[in-house]
Amino acid sequence: MPIARRVQHLSDEVKEPTRRTTRAVRSCRPQMPDLIGVGPDSAAVLLIAAGDNPDRTTDEAAFAALCGVSPVEQSSGKTHRRRLNRGATAKRTLPSTAS
């Protein structure tokens, strides 16, 4: 019986951050959590990536570039291929090291 109580307690404890995230997302974009497939965590990540200026993501390609997942040509000679551009948000979120 004590294990069942502990599981119940931990389940209730996990629900509180989800409620807080949902409230925060709804305060910024009330319609976003109602979209199919967009939970509170992914909605928060999208809002953080877009920042305070959603106009800078004019289309899917601009948003992909902002997130660092846009394709970049990586061709040499006869070989033509693409790789993901990991240079956008990923570089800005890493802590800078002072030399």
pLDDT at 75: 72
Q: Provide the angle, in degrees to the nearest 10, between the axes of the packed helices 40-50 and 60-67.
A: 90
Cα angle 81, 82, 83 (rounded to 5 degrees) comes to: 135
Per residue in 47-79, pLDDT (tens digit) is 887 776 777 778 887 777 777 777 777 777 777
pLDDT at 19: 92
Could you give the CA distance from residue 69 to residue 72 in angstroms, rounded to a whole number?
A: 9
Per residue in 11-48, pLDDT (tens digit) is 999 899 999 999 999 998 888 888 888 888 888 888 88
Confidence band of 97 (pLDDT split at 50, 70, 90): very low
